[in-house]
A = this chain, B = another copy of it.
Amino acid sequence: VMSMPSIAADSPISKQQKETAQQLMETALKSDLAYDIVESLTTEIGPRLGGSEAEKRARDWGANLGKELGFDKVAIEEFTMPFWDRGHLHIALTSPYNQELYGSALGGAAPSEKEINAPIVYFRDIHALTAIKDGSLKGKVAFVDGEPMVKSQTGAGYGPSNQKRRIGWQHAQRGGASALVIRSVGSDSHRFPHTGMMSKKDDKWTTIPVIAISNPDADHLRRLHNLGKPLSISLHSGSDWQGEVTSGNVVLDIIGSEKPEEIVLIGGHLDSWDLGTGAVDDGAGIAITTAAAKLIANLPKRPKRTIRVVMFGAEEVGLLGAYAYAEKHEANLHNHVVATESDFGARNVWRLTSDVNPEATVLVDEIAKIIAPLGIIRGGSDVKGGGPDIIPMANKGVPTIRLQQEGTDYFDLHHTPDDTLDKIDPEELKQNVAAYAATIFLFADTHIDLKKKN
């Protein structure tokens, strides 16, 4: 602290850089490019589960887009991965009467060999399930209730709500249950279950079917349980692992004019869950970051550093593209000067956080002042995490920032069939592009070192 130079008085951003950033924002707020990109991706490709044929079509789409937009370098970097497919599911209440339930298999769930017909054992929450004795659920289906996810601007409710999806199976399986059914992790009150991957334990996936049912269906089961009605269920699921397939990342570069080897990395993930068309998760992120880079490429001169847009593959199924990227580029990660991902929907950016060299924090502070007219405040300078696909490189020392999006309603749509294009407000998308274009330009056009010294 004592040795910190007094650079706060002299802005690390020149008058011309500031004006360029402001022009980028103005242009972005009038540009339909991001909306056109997310419309094209969701319409022409549709749902694109990691490792699927559709995700392959998305990679070709992404590479073509990069060429059409005039990126300096376009590459597809393939990797292999195990493929899980949800197959067909039928789930219905059979006692106290017959009623179809709205459910979805969770990622990694095993199939039922044949139809399961069993009584339900009701657990008020995940804690009640984790407390069971081994073998106490034989011949039963466990149902874990809980509350609809608590809404919050930052998505803080997701982690706690997600516990039952992540680890519930371990306890149901330990109890000997034939299957696990959980209340949907989402915050919505529609008849859609929220899907997503479960966690492995000791590097193994579950051996039982695990199904999420919608919040209204879970409410229904709770009320019947509270009335003392004996509940039973019929369940037949075809979800299973299908062997090794190919996925990949699409890498688009705007080559820097002075320090081409130094990389400012932005992006989103190209894959989506299969239920919706992946508009807010994460077509929006692909569109915002690609459009922002294109607007910078339209400037008369390339910024000093290279701007790299990565369209990550297979994020939803375990950040597989992110790990593949960090591994492939490991020797060059020291040249990744800052990284961030747009993967939290399509609502306005409201806060800029960072985790960079303390001596470079002033640069982020100054950038925050420039984008403040977009309705963005400066958040913490010690906030880890540039987005899910940034984790593997952040773990290896790459500095990160985040343009945080308004996420209060994100989990109404996230990982449900309702994640479709109509949910995106074109004006809010423009605000995102404006924030990215200005911010990324300023990081790319500086010489300031963002890396932490340790």
Closest approach, in angstroms, between the C-beta of A273 and any C-beta of chain B? 12
A417 touches B102 (CB 8 A): yes
Cα distance A276–B102 when bound, in Å?
10
B422 touches A189 (CB 8 A): yes
Cα distance A421–B100 when bound, in Å?
16
Indicate if A219 sits at the interface (CB-CB under 8 A): yes
- What B residues does A229 contact at CB under 8 A? 44
CB under 8 Å from chain B, chain A span 83-99: 93, 96-99
CB under 8 Å from chain B, chain A span 5-43: 39, 42-43
Pick the residue among B44, B216, B418 that contacts A420 (CB under 8 A).
Answer: B216
Pick the residue among B47, B227, B276, B423 that contacts A43 (CB under 8 A).
Answer: B227
Closest approach, in angstroms, between the C-beta of A299 and any C-beta of chain B? 31
Closest approach, in angstroms, between the C-beta of A418 and any C-beta of chain B? 5
Indicate if A374 sits at the interface (CB-CB under 8 A): no
Closest to A274 in B: B100
- What B residues does A350 contact at CB under 8 A? none
Cα distance A218–B308 when bound, in Å?
36
Indicate if A369 sits at the interface (CB-CB under 8 A): no
B220 touches A277 (CB 8 A): yes
Indicate if A259 sits at the interface (CB-CB under 8 A): no
- What B residues does A276 contact at CB under 8 A? 191
Closest to A47 in B: B99
CB under 8 Å from chain B, chain A span 178-227: 189-192, 215-216, 219-220, 223-224, 227
Closest approach, in angstroms, between the C-beta of A215 and any C-beta of chain B? 7
User: Known contacts A190-B418, A422-B215, A423-B189: does B220 contact A43 (CB below 8 Å)?
Assistant: yes
Cα distance A227–B46 when bound, in Å?
14
A97 touches B43 (CB 8 A): no
Indicate if A57 sits at the interface (CB-CB under 8 A): yes
Assembly stoichiometry (copies): 2
User: Known contacts A102-B417, A216-B420: does B43 contact A223 (CB below 8 Å)?
Assistant: yes
Cα distance A42–B97 when bound, in Å?
12
Pick the residue among B46, B220, B416 that contacts A99 (CB under 8 A).
Answer: B46
- What B residues does A189 contact at CB under 8 A? 422-423
Residue in A46, A96, A229 with the greatest tally of chain B CB atoms within 10 Å? A46
Indicate if A54 sits at the interface (CB-CB under 8 A): yes
- What B residues does A418 contact at CB under 8 A? 190-191, 216
Indicate if A362 sits at the interface (CB-CB under 8 A): no
B-contact bits for A225-236, CB 8 A (1 contact / 0 none) = 001010000000
Indicate if A45 sits at the interface (CB-CB under 8 A): yes
B54 touches A224 (CB 8 A): no
- What B residues does A46 contact at CB under 8 A? 93, 97, 99, 220
Closest to A416 in B: B191
13 intermolecular pairs with C-beta atoms under 8 Å apart = A39-B223, A43-B223, A44-B96, A46-B99, A46-B220, A54-B98, A189-B422, A189-B423, A191-B420, A215-B422, A216-B420, A219-B422, A220-B421
Q: Which 6 A-B pairs have the closest CB atoms?
A: A191-B417, A216-B420, A43-B223, A46-B99, A189-B422, A191-B418
Besides A219-B422, A220-B421, 8 other A-B contacts (C-beta < 8 A): A42-B220, A44-B96, A54-B97, A99-B277, A191-B416, A216-B420, A216-B421, A223-B421
